[in-house]
Structure 1
């Protein structure tokens, strides 16, 4: 079991879980592009969207819809969200396991986004400050979701 997302799905690695369903597992992104960044993991190990069943693909988008609604309720500063799937290594997919990013947009964050994108894995402050922030976000978002865990 070398896939980091499979390890998270199986509980072998810690993550700030938000929602678990039959086909998906939503967690806080450990290296967020903006505050509140969520990742929805497919429970099936598949490297591309086309390798998922139609039910699994639908579940991914349904979870994204639910979670983005909860995210907006958790922080009224969030104006919109990006839904992002990097489908394959040439599309900047770092982990070969299908996952949907839900990236909150605040309206004032456009100038910061390219910097965050370029430094999200390299900036030690992102990691050092992450635990408390992720925990706080997870609680706020879960408060606006139906109980699915």
Structure 2
């Protein structure tokens, strides 16, 4: 498999990690869209949200738990942050290993018109 995120998990591609446990790893995005832009991924390769199986749901809980912890550690929990998952080509998913973008550090404004 030629997955860049799997290579980050195994350590063969360097990353600037901010969090790691037995299920999840989180690291700085190399093309940040906000002052704080962290990618949070399960260590298990799952291509997208559409590929999550029954036995994988706990991993998404671990991702959310990591997001909460990282936001607090980076000082954006109180001011607010956005947690985004893109699913599929039309959503803008480029790397097909499920991942979440943790964005913050500035006012991000509404994501959708009228929100």
TM-score, with structure 2 as normaliser: 0.82
Q: Deviations over 1:24-51 (max 9, x none)?
A: 1010111100112111011011112242
Q: Which residue is 2:95 aligned to?
A: 95
CA distance in structure 2 between the aligned counterparts of 1:72 and 1:3, rounded to whole angstroms: 31
Q: Note if contact 1:47-1:88 (Cα within 8 Å) is conserved in structure 2.
A: no
Q: Deviations over 1:67-106 (max 9, x none)?
A: 1111226xx9x83211000022221101000111100141
> Equivalences for 1:4-23 in 2 at 5 Å?
4-23=4-23
Unaligned runs of 5+ in 2: 110-115
Structure 1: distance between partners of 2:29 and 2:6: 15
1:56 to 2:78 alignment: no
* Number of equivalent positions: 106
Which is richer in helix? 1
Q: Aligned equivalents of 2:49 and 2:42: distance in 1?
A: 10
Q: Which runs of 4+ in 1 moved over 2 A?
A: none
Report which of the two structures shows the higher radius of gyration computed on alpha carbons. 1
TM-score scaled to structure 1, two decimals? 0.65
Residue in 1 that maps onto 2:73: 70
Are 1:26 and 1:41, in contact at CA under 8 Å, matched by a contact in 2?
A: yes
Aligned partner of 2:113 in structure 1 is none
Structure with more strand by fraction: 2
The answer as to whether partners of 2:35 and 2:106 remain within 8 angstroms in 1 is no
Taking only aligned residues, the RMSD between alpha carbons, in angstroms, comes to 2.0
Unaligned runs of 5+ in 1: 111-149
Equivalent in the alignment of 2:79:
79
